[in-house]
Chains A and B, each alone.
Chain A
Amino acid sequence: MITTPEFINALAANAAPVRRVRPMARAWIWIIIAALVLLLLAISQGPRPDLVERLREPVFGIGLGASLLTGILAAVAASFMSLPDRSRLWSLLPAPSLVLWLSTIGYGCIVNWVGLVPGAVTLGEIARCFATLLLTSVPLSVALLFLLRHGALVRPYEVALGGSLAVAAITAAALTLFHNLDATVMVMIWNLGVAALIVTLAGTFGRKILRAMAPRVLPG
């Protein structure tokens, strides 16, 4: 077996200069990427026709704003959580906006239930929703994994979960912005369902994927 002094010699001989991680800068990079993805989707798909009208409704506006804010705050939290010496309490940063986002959906269920109109849910619309889901979540997940890959060695589970909440919230906002999700059950499926799916996938596979992408990481 290689002795620890030999090991230290090898590591020291291999110590190239490194650029320090700035967590806020990494979070900003991701937020800019998210904004670009939403902009590209707006150009290619166009916003939903009644967007301006719907934004006048407080519950809709607050819900959309809260989901965007949850995405931004979750990205900031995951970025800080990926550093070994930062508190785990960073994970609570997106909690208030998450609660607000979920309450607007809950409020819609209780106060203003909009039933499904027969023929409103077509296969074409579902396929377009799936396209938006993939076009938003895949690039944002890859970008976040790349930016936070150093978190694999210390808190892979927490970083993967925080990151997935960021991706889920922005994806839900994209679906709300670009698709006519008027029926309450559709809002629930495409917001809560998508968020639950992405967070569950991250909880199951995020740790392994993060490890695979980690810089010069140890075998797991």
Chain B
Amino acid sequence: MDPLGPQGRAHARADGRELDWSILMARAQSGDRGAYHRLLEEIAPYLRALAARRRVDAADIEDFVQDILLAVHAIRHTYDPARPFGPWLVTIANCRITDGLRRRTRRMARELPFDREHETFAEPQANFSEADSNARALMEEVEKLPPGQRFAVRLLKLEERSLKEAAAVSGRSIGALKVASHRALRTLKRVLTRRGHET
């Protein structure tokens, strides 16, 4: 007979997992990148579940997860391995989710959705075919950029992150990101202009 029962087993599993996370974070604080990578990979699904429970839109969940991961990264020095990891993580996650939802509500109050009625022509092709092909061409050229420049364009231009945030994600200085992004835009302008002349 199982002395723990199903609930007891679930608790034991959760306790064991939390202990693992605590050990992984302690190692990450001393600079063990492998342990940190494993920790972030393991907590990501848990954060997704937390965000879903707070009624975050399915389309926005990954944004929220990344926001929480970045916060965890920025203040990982505030975790004390002598204490449980769960409450530390959940407090950060809840604060970031509340903050994110508040920001979104404020933005929604100022912005209007772009409805079909706003299109110039009724046929979708008339409105989007050119934009789609331009976007595809742009993405193709972005993929051809050197990795540093590609990452800078993705973070700063396509995802519209701030320089500070992009620097935190990429581990590069703000100056290096500015230079990479400037060079990438110059290359893209040159290549896309040439492509435009050829077609």
Q: Do A and B come from one complex?
A: yes
Interface residues of A (CB under 8 A from B): 1-5, 7-21, 82-85, 150, 153-155, 214-220
Q: Measured between C-beta atoms, what is the minimum distance from B47 to chain A in Å?
A: 9
Given contacts A4-B66, A8-B40, A12-B36, A150 and B83 within 8 Å (CB-CB): no
Residue B65 at the chain A interface, CB threshold 8 Å? yes
Having A14-B73, A15-B28, A155-B95, one finds 8 other A-B pairs with CB under 8 Å, namely: A7-B69, A10-B171, A11-B40, A12-B34, A18-B29, A85-B88, A218-B165, A219-B161
How many CB-defined contacts (below 8 Å) exist between A and B?
123
Query: Are B83 and A12 in contact, with the CB atoms below 8 A?
Result: no
Contact B171 A153 (CB under 8 A): no
Q: Are A4 and B65 in contact (CB under 8 A)?
A: yes
Beta-carbon nearest neighbor of A154 in chain B: B95
Give the contact-size bracket for chain B.
35 or more
B154 touches A13 (CB 8 A): no
Within 8 Å CB of A5, what residues of B?
41
Q: Which among A4, A13, A155 has the highest number of chain B CB atoms within 10 Å? A: A4
Q: Contact check: which of A2, A19, A82, A215 meets B159 at CB < 8 Å?
A: A2
Nearest residue (CB) in B for A18 is: B77
A20 touches B67 (CB 8 A): no
The yes or no answer to B127 lying at the interface (CB within 8 A) is: no
Choose among B71, B75, B99 the residue with the greatest number of A CB atoms under 10 Å from its CB: B75
Smallest CB separation, B168 vs chain A (Å) = 4
Specify which chain B residues have a CB less than 8 angstroms from the CB of A215 in the assembled complex: 74-75
Distance in angstroms between the alpha carbons of A155 and B169 in the assembled complex: 23
Find chain A residues with CB under 8 A from B165 CB: 218-219
Which one, A7, A13, A21, A153, contacts B66 given CB within 8 A? A7
Query: Within 8 Å CB of B32, what residues of A?
Result: 15
Task: Check if B88 sits within 8 Å of A218, measured CB to CB.
Answer: no
The answer to whether B91 touches A8, judged by C-beta atoms less than 8 angstroms apart, is no
CB-CB nearest in chain B for A16: B31
CB pair B95 A153 closer than 8 Å: yes
Ordered by A's residue number, 15 sampled pairs between the chains whose C-beta atoms are within 8 Å are A2-B66, A2-B155, A2-B159, A4-B65, A11-B36, A11-B70, A12-B37, A19-B77, A20-B78, A21-B77, A215-B75, A216-B164, A216-B168, A218-B96, A219-B165
Q: How far is the CB of B198 from chain A (nearest CB, A)?
A: 30
Instruction: Find A83's partner among B66, B73, B78, B162 (CB 8 Å cutoff).
Output: B78
**Using a CB-CB cutoff of 8 Å, which residues 80-126 of chain B contact chain A?**
80, 83-84, 87-88, 91-92, 95-96, 99, 103
Please determine whether B78 and A150 come into contact, CB atoms closer than 8 angstroms: yes
- List A contacts of B28 (CB < 8 A): 15
Asked if B157 is at the interface (CB within 8 A of a chain A CB), the reply is no
B44 in contact (CB, < 8 A): yes
B92 touches A10 (CB 8 A): no
CA gap between A153 and B74 in the complex, in Å: 9
Task: Report Cα–Cα, A3/B158, bound state, in Å.
Answer: 13
Chain B: CB-nearest residue to A21: B78
Which of B67, B77, B161, B170 contacts A14, CB < 8 Å? B170
